[in-house]
Amino acid sequence: MKTHIVSPNQEWLERAKEHILQGGVVAFHTETVYGLGANAFNDEAVKSIFALKGRPADNPLIAHVHRDYDISKIVDEVPAYTEKLRKAFLPGPLTMVYPSKGKVSRYVSCGLDTLAIRVPSSLAAQAFLREVDLPIAAPSANRSKHVSPVTAQHVYDDFEGKIPLILDGGACDGGIESTVLDCTGEIPVILRAGLVTREMIKSVVGACGVYEKKAGERPKSPGMAYKHYAPKCKTAYFTAEEIGQAIVCYREEEEKGGRPYFFLESGFAKELTKKGFRVFDLGETGEQMAQRLYAALRQAETQATLLIAIEPSVRGGVMDGVMNRLTRAFGRTNDET
Ligand code: TXA
Ligand code: MG
């Protein structure tokens, strides 16, 4: 199969729709990361996403819909606060988990009685979803555990020859995946931190919890239990206090004939560049770091033999999501992997 990277004009949108109606898989741009989509009503199509990605069978998918799609067709009664959240944040990088009506394929939610729904704001995503007028089950368009894709080329690198179309909407502005919010209880609870922050949600509905998995419990958002976002090169992770050790680690890699790079926020990046070290500069603010994180990891894996992260100093807001991705990419998470 030849994989085409195409602009989401009417002609290609119609071709994309044909593929979807025939049970095929189409990659598409969103404002967070690229998605790998299939008709959420079609069992075989949904199963093929898991096969393509090498995704564990217990990690549920998000159903993507256009802004005017009537979600009451697929989800049950929802708490009153969800209306405020939809008004405030949708279309946008917030995925809301509702009680499911069980109308979409059972493979979308992997047997859970809930369904995650996202209304992406990107023009390319909206055009595609409107054209098909179906819920599209879509994970991020990367091979399982690999770094999420923020350009059409990243998708191509993981799925060349395996999918027919990539709807190219350019680089993704957001850079990390949507916030996943459990909306089945009395107050909303964040299952995966992302671009819509806890502070933002609290300011609209007053309260917002953050899910913490208790020892031995099956995680509520199963995807969070896996090592994820990992570049193909070796990695190491140090706190800012451990900078001395990080430099020793860099030197040792060079002595072995390797090509180490640092991976860190602007302040340190500037200092270390002056001293002649190779660096990837993630920027200064949480938003910048979110936007650059995956692109930098994808670039790093083609250039570095060892990537050495120094923990950023910025905290709060979008950094909750950035730190979650960073510690997973570098194998530094407390969760079981
Ligand atoms: O920004 C995004 O959310 C991107 C773009 C493509 O929309 N999608 C994405 O999908 O990140 P994926 O499959 O990589 O991550 C989906 C996350 C996983 O952590 C999964 O466990 C969680 O959403 N999830 C999906 N359905 C769920 C459900 N019913 N209950 C709890 N968590 C759910
Ligand atoms: Mg993913």
Read off the pLDDT band of 213 (50, 70, 90): confident
What pLDDT score does 334 carry? Answer: 43
Q: Probe ligand 1: pick from 177, 189, 294, max atoms within 8 Å of CB? A: 177
pLDDT, mean of residues 276-300? 97
Task: Tell me, in angstroms, the distance from the centre of ligand 2 to residue 223's CA.
Answer: 8
- What pTM did the predictor assign? 0.95
Task: Tell me, in angstroms, the distance from the centre of ligand 1 to residue 123's CA.
Answer: 20
Q: Which residue has the tokens 């958002």?
A: 221
User: How large a percentage of the chain has pLDDT more than 90?
Assistant: 92
Q: Is the pLDDT of residue 37 over 80?
A: yes
Report all structural domains of the chain as residue ranges with CATH numbers, in order of start.
4-210 (3.90.870.10), 234-329 (3.40.50.11030)
| Order of strands across the sheet that contains 179-182 | 4-6, 165-167, 26-28, 35-39, 136-138, 62-64, 114-118, 94-99, 179-182, 189-192, 209-210
Nearest CA to ligand 1 atom 6: 35
Q: Is the pLDDT of residue 33 over 70?
A: yes
User: How large a percentage of the chain has pLDDT more than 70?
Assistant: 94
Q: Are 72 and 82 in contact (CB under 8 A)?
A: no
Q: Which residue has the higher pLDDT, 224 or 44?
A: 44
Q: Is 140 helix (H, G, I), strand (E, B) or coil?
A: strand
In angstroms, the Cα distances linking 278 to 9, 10, 168, 306, 308 are: 41, 44, 31, 11, 10
- Nearest atom, ligand 1, residue 108 CA: 26
What pLDDT score does 219 carry? Answer: 60
Q: Probe ligand 1: pick from 28, 33, 34, 62, max atoms within 8 Å of CB? A: 62
